[in-house]
Structure 1
Amino acid sequence: MAVAIAQIVETEGTFTENQIQDLLNSLLPVLHFIHSHNVIHRDIKPGNIIRRADKQLVLVDFGAAKIATGTALLKTGTSIGSPEYIAPEQARGKAFFTSDLYSLGVTCLYLLTQVSPFDLFDPGEDAWIWRQYLAKNPVSEQLGKMLDKMIENATNRRYQTAVEVLKEINTQVAIDLAVPQTISKLVKPAPTPTLTQQQTYNWQCFHTLTGHKNLIYSVAFSPNGEVVASGSDDKTIKLWGVEDAQEIVTLIGHTNSVYTVAFSPDGLMLASSSHDKTIKLWRMKDGQEIRTLLGHINSVYGAAFSPDGEIIASCSWDKTIKIWRVQDGQEIRTLAGHTNLVYFVAFSPDGETIASCSWDRTVKIWRVKDGKLIRTLTGHTDSVRCIAFSPNGDFLASGSHDNTIKIWWVKDWQEVLTITGHSWYVDSIAFSPDGEILASSSNQIIKIWRVKDGQEICNIAGHTNSVYSVNFSPEGEFLASGSSDKTIKIWQNTMFV
């Protein structure tokens, strides 16, 4: 049963600092979402924040919400909202995005003190005196300063966006990635892992697979998790058993380096792309080549199946992306717009969009049904080498030769997080099946990051040369990596042991 936090504080007492941080981490992404769609809530207060039966915090009652377009923000209107919690400018009939931040800040003061906001402000001194009411519930200097800035009287002295507040809370550029599917249904962020929780993300080498004669560019798990495929500079593809580490078969047919291997969603086919300018489809049951897709005029770096398995997207040094029909290998259309070679392509989980990344430092988003360019994402300062959609389709990650990983919010294609920590090019990235962690490779190192805030939680070393590909198994128990040391390593998450 859902309960308003106004009622909770009456029965359970004041909130602690950790509870306030949890509240802010839960609600600020909602404000980022509605503000990015030009909506101001205008009535944030304890009575409009509920705790659901599953303990998740949700912002409700958008009856006072206002669309802020054009000059609407500058117009004086009727004062809306609860007098104790609204910002001074809102009391005068003007509401801004930062007015919601003010109300959220005042709400936090009430939760910390259980005292009416009217009594937390001294009009004679024109100052907030909320610290006098903390009693035995002290807060850190950092949180205190942050709340003071949220409740500044002058709008230009407050935080201007929800993301700015989140940066302060999480110490580096961080935004909760559990963004609501709808405004009224917020998925609460996972709590900051304790040391014990972080230790579950230790990865031990389970198998080292040897047999390729040259570097490995790509690795992929079959949908049932029983097979790993690898594509190599030695022009071959190998299939390996995950449990016994035995080579099953070697697929021969490409006349140059194999850059990408990808399983069809049903696991019946494997696609491979090559420096020989082709994409090949292979039948998994016997390793026989089904057909070769011809049309690119230069090396084909990436290939990906759509979620329904009916089409394939490929990308090339020829600066194009091509979409092919799997059934007969016919080219459906060519997407042109990048100004340099295209490294990688990925379908969104709903199959409606394709993302591509390029040497031209951009990520482009295309609509599948007609090939229309929807958006160009800029922000990386060097080539964008790899991309991946989160399993729920809410986010896109990109890895670059600028040594960073960026997370983009699919709802509005805004950058919400930059992950730093690699000292060299980021060559591959992959989301875990639950979307909570992200793996990346750079040079000889694989790093595991917490998606929520970009914190590094594991550093995996073991390869003796650059790692060009990482991928999780379907259940998340294993992580496969392919390297220029000519080996594939399968790492096991110790939480499954």
Structure 2
Amino acid sequence: MIGFIVTGCYDSLARVWKAAGESTHILEGHSDVIASVGVINRKGVEGITVATASKDRTLRLWKFDTEDSINNPIRIRAFKILRGHTKSVQCVAAQNTGDMVCSGSWDSTIKLWQTNDSQSDGDLVSIKKRKGNDQADESQLEGEAVSTLVGHTQCVSSVVWPQQETIYSASWDHSVRLWDAETSKNSSDIFCTKVLNCLMLEVKVLLSLQLVVLIPFLGYGILINQELLLRSFSSCLTLPGFRLASGMTNLGFI
């Protein structure tokens, strides 16, 4: 079941939609095209956290509650701005734990960022928030990259972070690269003949079960100690009776 949909647009706004097509939130603050959006599933954090990547060379992190009872879309600002890329940010992906995101840019680099809302990895900056005809000061957290992955020679067009220590990236330099997130090292490459625009993985997840679990709405029968091949459902799905031995990849709607 689809809970909500997030879109990024050339009007520099991201929007949250109900499955029925009603816009519930407008995420404003970027000054250029939003090229990519990603949902972050952070343990112990209420509400929804979303990351957006923009041609204004920044990423922004947002929090909202999809259960808000509203008649009109709520306009919200990011709780954190991530700065460091020197050119347009093309893509963003969240770590399976939700503690970090990675981004790919036209500057040929991949950067890793913390998603928390504390000041331990950033500074509070003052911005102007319009209230009627007046301007009021508002504080917003600004964060810097934890690390930078260097190796691609052209735009990084797509990133996927399926496991805590592993990042995959695709680039206009015709390569798919595998990275160790802990050491920032490029461990292996696949070279293609043309520009790469997107990347998707099939992720095998080992489930540890006490009982046989049947999930009819997904079309899977899951057996004890067997591997389940996940193709297109989200990491936010949790069911009683089993735990994940390795993370799921958010490949679809929430």
Residue 340 of structure 1: how far off its partner (Å): 0.7
- CA contact under 8 A between 1:435 and 1:451: conserved in structure 2? yes
1:423 and 2:171 matched: no
Q: Alignment partner of 2:151: what SS?
A: coil
**TM-score, normalised on structure 1?**
0.33
- Deviation per CA, 1:88-129: give whole Å up to 9, x if none: xxxxxxxxxxxxxxxxxxxxxxxxxxxxxxxxxxxxxxxxxx
- Deviation per CA, 1:125-159: give whole Å up to 9, x if none: xxxxxxxxxxxxxxxxxxxxxxxxxxxxxxxxxxx
Structure 2 CA distance for aligned equivalents of residues 387 and 406 of structure 1: 10
The higher radius of gyration belongs to 1
Structure 2 CA distance for aligned equivalents of residues 391 and 383 of structure 1: 25
- CA contact under 8 A between 1:431 and 1:472: conserved in structure 2? no
Q: Alignment partner of 1:317: what SS?
A: coil
Letter in 2 for 1:375: K
Residue 347 of structure 1: how far off its partner (Å): 1.0
1:317 and 2:10 matched: yes
Letter in 1 for 2:176: I
Paired residue for 1:214?
none
From the two aligned structures, give the one with the greater strand fraction. Answer: 2
1:335 and 2:27 matched: yes
Structure 2 CA distance for aligned equivalents of residues 368 and 393 of structure 1: 16
Match of 1:367 among 63, 67, 91: 63
- Deviation per CA, 1:292-335: give whole Å up to 9, x if none: xxxxxxxxxxxxxxxxx411110011111011011x21111212
Q: For residues 311-460 of structure 1, what are the structure 2 equivalents within 5 Å? A: 311-326=4-19, 328-350=20-42, 352-369=48-65, 371-411=76-116, 412=121, 413-432=143-162, 434-443=163-172, 444-460=174-190
Residue 352 of structure 1: how far off its partner (Å): 2.0
- Deviation per CA, 1:41-93: give whole Å up to 9, x if none: xxxxxxxxxxxxxxxxxxxxxxxxxxxxxxxxxxxxxxxxxxxxxxxxxxxxx
Structure 2 CA distance for aligned equivalents of residues 352 and 324 of structure 1: 13
**TM-score, normalised on structure 2?**
0.62
Question: Which structure 1 residue ranges, 5 or more long, are not aligned?
Answer: 1-265, 267-308, 481-497
Question: Which structure 2 residue ranges, 5 or more long, are not aligned?
Answer: 66-73, 122-142, 206-226, 232-254
Residue 435 of structure 1: how far off its partner (Å): 2.0
Letter in 2 for 1:436: E
- CA contact under 8 A between 1:426 and 1:440: conserved in structure 2? yes
- Deviation per CA, 1:395-453: give whole Å up to 9, x if none: 11011000000001223444211010001111000012x32210001121100001111
- CA contact under 8 A between 1:385 and 1:401: conserved in structure 2? yes
Residue 373 of structure 1: how far off its partner (Å): 1.6
Structure 2 CA distance for aligned equivalents of residues 333 and 352 of structure 1: 12
How many positions carry a matched residue from both structures?
A: 170
Paired residue for 2:195?
466
- CA contact under 8 A between 2:84 and 2:144: conserved in structure 1? no
Structure 1 CA distance for aligned equivalents of residues 189 and 203 of structure 2: 21
- Deviation per CA, 1:167-223: give whole Å up to 9, x if none: xxxxxxxxxxxxxxxxxxxxxxxxxxxxxxxxxxxxxxxxxxxxxxxxxxxxxxxxx
Ranked by relative contact order (alpha carbons within 8 Å, sequence separation 6 or more), the top structure is 2
Letter in 1 for 2:91: C
- CA contact under 8 A between 2:168 and 2:176: conserved in structure 1? yes
- CA contact under 8 A between 2:110 and 2:150: conserved in structure 1? yes
Structure 2 CA distance for aligned equivalents of residues 471 and 435 of structure 1: 17
- CA contact under 8 A between 2:83 and 2:145: conserved in structure 1? no
Structure 1 CA distance for aligned equivalents of residues 77 and 27 of structure 2: 8
Paired residue for 1:295?
none
Residue 475 of structure 1: how far off its partner (Å): 1.6
Structure 2 CA distance for aligned equivalents of residues 314 and 385 of structure 1: 14
Letter in 2 for 1:340: D
Residue 474 of structure 1: how far off its partner (Å): 3.1
Q: Alignment partner of 1:339: what SS?
A: coil
Question: 4+ residue stretches of structure 1 with deviation over 3 A?
Answer: none
From the two aligned structures, give the one with the greater helix fraction. Answer: 1
Structure 2 CA distance for aligned equivalents of residues 408 and 354 of structure 1: 13
Structure 1 CA distance for aligned equivalents of residues 77 and 55 of structure 2: 21
